[in-house]
Chains A and B, each alone.
Chain A
């Protein structure tokens, strides 16, 4: 039986005010063009000044989030660094590809090529922290971050030492990505205002988003914010399988549905994928608050990172921001949180989180 793992720090750069602020999600940011972009931060605080000049936006976002998480946790050098990304540094890839096509394979700038490799942010984080330990990058679409978290859980169960792994995700939204994925129905038509996303969940498509989130994952219970009690990934799922997974996880952890204080739903306003969330609204009683997050961060491969960050905030402050609430429950505190998410390419995940008590 695997031991649960603990999260001792969380950092996120997102389309919302989530980074280095005492007032997260205030004011709530929104858009009406179907795209939500990260709120830029002062990246120079987190990155070597010489290196930062040539870095793409994705690298700055990912590295800064990772470094901020380290700072928050007070750990200078983690035991390893594990990331997940569906798209890597998309813009670098687009630029190198575009240049290659336009310049007919001549006189290309290697910087974009190097930065486009999926493990480049991992490499930079290792370099900046002098962390020579375990280093891994998952690129498995809607399960990229989940795999990174699972890997950390495996590692922490392979040791009797107190260890700390920096685990995170990053994904970037680009204009070209918007154009390309528009051809296969990723985006809702007509484009809704982001805060009205769920008013149109009878039609297919969603809104695009991006973000980075990093977590300090440890087997040290002391000073942790919460634990990941269960993590389950489903591929080519049916709504019934997701429902059964949630039931099984709650049973295994001896939790009644009414004792789940908050459920964070990854519904994206897309009618094709709404089936796994309906039971959550229908089956929950007056006790549970049901929330959603993709109207705040948009749809992307690693949006569970934003949800996990929201959960960390809720555990820390014992409050659920109004901006995420879809159905308000009466449970007075935040001790148990369930994250249920799907991604457009037929993947889903369920995470059970418990306050550190």
Chain B
């Protein structure tokens, strides 16, 4: 029997604010973080509501004690560093380092947020000194390496990218590295900054909604994009007890599968989502009736919500627990979505609350289940299921349980 993997520290930065407390408070007060972008420079700024983190790059740099201006750090990295700062608060970095830990980061477009503003200068004959500071920042591992350097850490590092399920996969990998004894602890999560590249990419696919996204609603059209970063510290229960750390939640189950159906669209019957949730339950040795809340992927695209809704309805077979999507609060934060929603799931366990789905007015015709639209308090939550499904058919489900 493998040792229980527990969560002992959290860090998050999203459109809802900086830190776990600010984020959970916004969820509780049903205050979404979407706005027309004030920082992202795009011709679509008056068109699309985005989950933009409120702080400018200079403000983020100041929070980290870094020089402002073009300091060579992309917004992706700055978001990651601020979230990491929260995870590391109160952690003995020397103990962490000496006993061996991993930093598993997830990302979808690296430092595109900076590169897209400088790319023409990169290609020109006279690239400016300012641009040169960013010339090695396009790839996904840039944020991983800069975060570890900034905090003076030298962990086992890895970066992965499976589109919108990326940071769910980071959590799974961290847990597995611990179970194999390769590291004692793992800080896992992901980061993505808004960029014109991704906004226009999703827009070209015609699945960005100009209205606030309406997950699991019959009038849904598409997603709102967002940005953010989040990390969780994982370790064995034994390791947490050894250092007297508070156990926030137990990572009791997880699964990774692929739809093998289409490059971007999910299997319309939700077969992929179904088997992913089912495998995560098996891993956790839980029954469907044990799950008290599902934090759904719920992007509010036509395809995802139909597939995911059908999968939930079929798997939970007349006993669908509370489910909601928190994406209308944060926007879809892509590589950060899995971990941000993992943190919201853990918050639901801690505070015994079901976060209400926003903007739901009409029953989806594809299913007969509906998301929970009111805040439920004293919700009696023992186990939460969190879904992340991505392009390329990459599916992840995680189950968090009460400590």
Contact = CB atoms under 8 A, between A and B. Distances in A.
B1 interface: no
B129 to A, nearest CB: 11
Nearest to A128: B260
B394 A2 contact: no
Given A101-B120, A118-B108, A345-B136, A127 B161 contact: no
Contacts of A116: 201
Nearest to A233: B156
A119 B161 contact: yes
Contact of B263 (A97, A120, A129, A180): A120
A97 B159 CA distance: 23
A114 B391 contact: yes
Contacts of B138: 93
Contacts of B163: 117, 119
Interface string B172-204: 010011001000000000000000110011111
A122 B257 CA distance: 12
A316 to B, nearest CB: 31
Given A117-B163, A135-B258, A141 B141 contact: yes
A158 B254 CA distance: 14
A132 B395 CA distance: 10
B104 to A, nearest CB: 10
Given A108-B200, A119-B392, A134 B257 contact: yes
B262 interface: yes
A131 B122 CA distance: 40
A86 interface: yes
Contacts of B257: 132-135
A119 B180 contact: no
A140 B158 contact: yes
A152 to B, nearest CB: 12
A151 interface: yes
A124 B392 CA distance: 7
Interface in A102-143: 104-106, 108-110, 113-114, 116-120, 122-124, 126-127, 129-141, 143
Nearest to B115: A97
A100 interface: yes
A103 to B, nearest CB: 9
B9 interface: no
B373 interface: no
Contact of A101 (B112, B119, B156, B262): B119
Contacts of A124: 263, 392
B200 A127 contact: no
B71 interface: no
A13 interface: no
B197 A139 contact: no
Contact of A180 (B135, B159, B262, B393): B135
A96 B136 CA distance: 19
B123 A180 contact: yes
A232 to B, nearest CB: 11
B76 interface: no
B135 A157 contact: no
B256 interface: yes
B201 A113 contact: yes
B321 interface: no
Nearest to B198: A113
Contact of B119 (A97, A131, A135, A141): A97
Looking at chain B's contact residues, is the secondary structure mostly helix, strand, loop, or mixed? mixed
B144 A140 contact: yes
Given A127-B262, A157-B180, A110 B119 contact: no
A154 B162 contact: no
Contact of A119 (B162, B177, B197, B205): B162
B297 to A, nearest CB: 16
Interface in A55-98: 81, 86-88, 93, 96-98
A124 B55 CA distance: 38
Contact of A114 (B122, B123, B127, B263): B263
A53 interface: no
A184 B260 contact: no
Contacts of A202: none
A96 B139 CA distance: 16
B197 A96 contact: yes
A176 interface: yes
Interface string B31-42: 000000000001
Given A97-B197, A135-B256, A180-B122, A86 B139 contact: yes
Given A105-B196, A114-B263, A138-B158, A123 B258 contact: yes
A45 interface: no
Interface in B28-85: 42-44
A123 B256 contact: no
A252 interface: no
Interface of B: 42-44, 107-108, 112, 115-116, 119-120, 122-123, 127, 132, 135-136, 138-141, 144-145, 154, 156-163, 169, 173, 176-177, 180, 196-197, 200-205, 256-264, 272, 275, 390-394
22 contacts: A81-B258, A88-B161, A97-B115, A108-B200, A110-B201, A110-B204, A113-B200, A119-B390, A122-B162, A122-B258, A135-B394, A136-B173, A136-B256, A139-B160, A141-B141, A141-B159, A154-B177, A179-B122, A179-B123, A181-B135, A184-B136, A345-B145
Closest 9 CB pairs of A and B: A123-B392, A113-B201, A135-B258, A110-B204, A118-B161, A139-B140, A126-B258, A119-B392, A108-B204
Given A132-B275, A138-B159, 6 more contacts: A101-B116, A110-B204, A122-B162, A132-B259, A136-B173, A140-B141
